[in-house]
Amino acid sequence: MNTSFFIQFKILVPVALAATTFILPLSADEPVFKLTPYVATIAARETPTRSWVDPKAPAQPIPVEDGAGVLKTVPGFTLIRKGGTSSDPMLRGMAGSRLGMLLGGESILGGCGNRMDPPTAYVFPSAYDRVTIIKGPQTVLYGPGQSAGVVLFERDALYYPVPAVDLDGTLAVGSFGRNDARLSLSAGAPLGYVRLDANHTAAGDYRDGSGRRVHSSYDRWSLQGALTWTHGPATLLEWTGILSDGEAAYADRAMDGTLFARENTGLRWQHEPAAGEVEKIEAQVFYNYVDHVMDNFSMRSFKPNPMMPHRTVSNPDRETIGGRAQVSFLPVPSLRLEVGGDHQENRHSMRRSMNEASNPYREQPRVRDAEFRVTGLFAEAMQEAGESGRIVSGLRIDLWKARDLRDRIRIGHMGTQPNPTAGEGRRSELPSGFVRYEHDRSEATQLSLGVGHSRRFPDYWELFNKESETDLSAFHVAPERVSQIDAGLQYETGHAMYSLALFANRINDYILIERDYPKGMRTTAITRNIDASAWGGEGAIQYDFADGWRADLSITYVYGKNRTDGIPLAQQPPLESRLALSYSTATWSVGWLTRAVARQSRVALNQGNIVGQDISPSGGFTVYSLNGSWSPTPRCRISAGVDNVFDRTYAEHLSRGGSMVAGFPPPTMRVNEPGRTLWATVRITL
């Protein structure tokens, strides 16, 4: 990584914030920060199946460092943990490619075969204006195979009727060497605007509640820019570019990530006609490249072992190109129709060195091992049904193609064998669709009931990084088919908001990852299809019980079953509840958060998904946190907090198992979470 960049960035951001605080006049108009309580248990909702989060809003625990962290306050989400950063998000017990991720309408995919770099590892949430979550297969607009739902990291289109400059910056410090800096600058005029977001986040190894040091440090940065031409508020043409990199230590494996380089460029056009049946036209194309390096010596003391007797480096990369176009129509006042198509191609390659000292990995050729291509067509309609009802429905068809380019398959770290599916290709035509009825019983009450079906093509981790039950390649595992019912209720009064979202599904050909499979060809993970089912949901209450006082309560639960084997479905989160109490005035606020997680005894040892497998039952825990904030001026907010106030030693059920790291205490069954953590932030908006 570029050390000089970090030094300059960490100096310039504080200087810029301080200078603008004293040099630029602060408006005495409406305050920018209205001191709403911390985001702790509930996201703002548009409908019972759709919600959104402000990624710049204060939240507890400590301000998030990647895309997964911003989702942990949303009921229904859990994180599969492996240390300080790069967690994998899970929605209703479904992770990996079952949960779609779009960054400004673009898809990004990681390269590591063991999910060291999930897509959210490349996301800096504060560079976006909004995170929208759609639960269940209840839309067809945002890509294929999103059986759990879709997460949209979105940036608002800007328009400057008169020349102006906007600045938004944040500094954060915390225990275990945590330090963050963010600067967002936009400047524009009627003909267009420029926007720049710079982010840096870093932390050292943390200690758990028992004082054990956990191998978990990280250092990440990102630069994101946009140059936009506007023709009035209704038309824009925007170019975007992103550069980012980082490094991260992991407590759950024998290697660390020393490079998380991302290069991205995209072009987007959007037009909203002033009149006529066409409401909106939009199109975009994008290119992104992810270059990831992991090794066993740069961020830890090298210790030879039989599996890795030498300094070892692995360097996967992935190149993705794609685009989409969509037109929104209003053929009649009571019908809204959205039609379009999208296309994506991605190529994965690998190079490695088993002895970096004598055979550097950079001198090795990259060997392409996998190619994917998918083209989709979709249509979604919203038809009014009476004065207070709506029928929302959609259909989608995806044409998938994949090719296995591996001549040989690696056996552990020491050898290879011929690939039985070398050079083979496969294709699938996979339909998806849904229909949902929404009813506004009154201005304060909304009900919804939907049925959806999604077919998901196996991803890289399921096809190319595992064996099957019968041979060394899993290239012909069947696509996954999910049929799900989603029901929701949202009710608001003058002092309270209640929400309930329930689901039940049947999953045919569920793609299960199993380790130490007794019928396997070798001691590794296999991919196989099973039939499964799951049900559960999320409930939340937000209640303003006195002037300035608010209580937030949420509860989430998922029950999954492996119907083929007659056992629990693996990697399911336990029952969890959150209770937050807060008091806020016009200039300050305080809050207390209680997070209670039940024990999880419904496990299936060695079974799971591409991220991890069940390793044992887990005990429950309760963690308490405290926060406060103060706004000395209308455009400045200072916040502070204590996470895990009582220094509890605990680990999440969905945590990877601990691994031996030289110089660190012996590993625990699961990677323990941080002990008591103090932090503070300051945000200035001009």
pLDDT tens profile 516-537: 877 655 657 899 999 999 999 9
* Mean pLDDT value of segment 263-284: 93
Under the banding of pLDDT at 50, 70 and 90, the label for residue 45 is low
Q: Which two tokens stand for residue 313?
A: 């480096």
Q: Is the pLDDT of residue 443 over 90?
A: no
Across residues 464-489, what is the average pLDDT? 93
Task: With cut-offs at 50, 70 and 90, classify the pLDDT of residue 64.
Answer: confident
Model confidence at 180: pLDDT above 80:
yes
Q: Could you give the CA distance from residue 330 to residue 231 in angstroms, rounded to a whole number?
A: 23
Task: Pick the range with the lowest mean pLDDT from 11-25, 532-546, 653-667.
Answer: 11-25
Q: Is the pLDDT of residue 36 over 70?
A: no
Closest to 388 measured CA to CA, from 447, 449, 435 = 447
Q: Which two tokens stand for residue 504?
A: 């039940």
Q: Whole-angstrom Cα distance, residue 62 to residue 297?
A: 29
- Say which residue, 221 or 306, is predicted with more confidence: 221
Fill in the DSSP letter of residue 674.
P
Helical ranges in 377-427 per DSSP H? none
* Cβ neighbours of 349 (radius 10 Å): 18
Domains of the chain: 3-685 (2.40.170.20)
**4/433: higher pLDDT:** 433
Return phi, psi of residue 651, to 5°.
Answer: -140, 145
Q: Is the pLDDT of residue 97 over 90?
A: yes
Mean pLDDT of the chain: 90
Q: Measured in whole angstroms, how far is the alpha carbon of residue 44 from the centre of its chain?
A: 18
Unique residue bearing structure tokens 């069940």: 614
The pLDDT tens digits for 335-372 are 999 999 999 999 999 999 999 999 999 999 999 999 99
Q: Contact, 226 vs 240, CB < 8 A?
A: yes
Model confidence band, residue 392 (pLDDT cutoffs 50, 70, 90): very high
Does the pLDDT of residue 8 top 70, yes or no? Answer: no
Cα gap 639→682, rounded to integer Å: 6
Q: How far is CA 535 from the centre of its chain?
A: 22
DSSP state of 120: G
Q: Using one digit for the tens of pLDDT, what is the confidence trace for 623-673? A: 999 999 999 999 999 999 999 999 999 999 999 999 999 999 999 999 999
Confidence of residue 44 (pLDDT cuts 50, 70, 90): low
pLDDT of 13 strictly over 60 = no
The tally of CA atoms less than 13 A away on the side-chain side of residue 214 is 32
Q: How confident is the model at residue 414 (pLDDT cuts 50, 70, 90)?
A: low
Per cent of the chain over pLDDT 90 is 77
If you average pLDDT over residues 453-466, what whole number do you get? 94
Note if the bond before 61 is cis, omega within 30 degrees: yes
What is the pLDDT confidence band of residue 126, given thresholds at 50, 70 and 90?
confident
- Mean pLDDT over residues 390-406, rounded? 97
The whole-angstrom separation of Cα 93 and Cα 535 is 10
Closest CA to 240 of 255, 225, 250: 225
Which of 54-63, 148-157, 631-640 is predicted with the least confidence, judged by mean pLDDT?
A: 54-63
Three-state DSSP class for residue 49: coil
Strand-pairing partners, residue 674, are none
Q: How many degrees, rounded to 5, is the angle at CA 482 between CA 479 and CA 487?
A: 160
| pLDDT above 80: residue 39 | no
Res 538: pLDDT: 95
pTM: 0.91
DSSP labels for 94-113?
A: EEGGGEEEEETTEE-----T
In this prediction, residue 11 carries a pLDDT of: 43
Calculate mean pLDDT across residues 241-269: 95
pLDDT on residue 413:
61
Q: Which is higher by pLDDT, 417 or 380?
A: 380
The stretch 260-272 carries a mean pLDDT of 95
Return the minimum-mean-pLDDT range out of 70-74, 267-271, 448-452.
70-74
Residue 482's pLDDT band (cuts 50, 70, 90) = very high
In percent, the amount of the chain with pLDDT more than 70 equals: 92
At 163 the three-state DSSP class reads coil
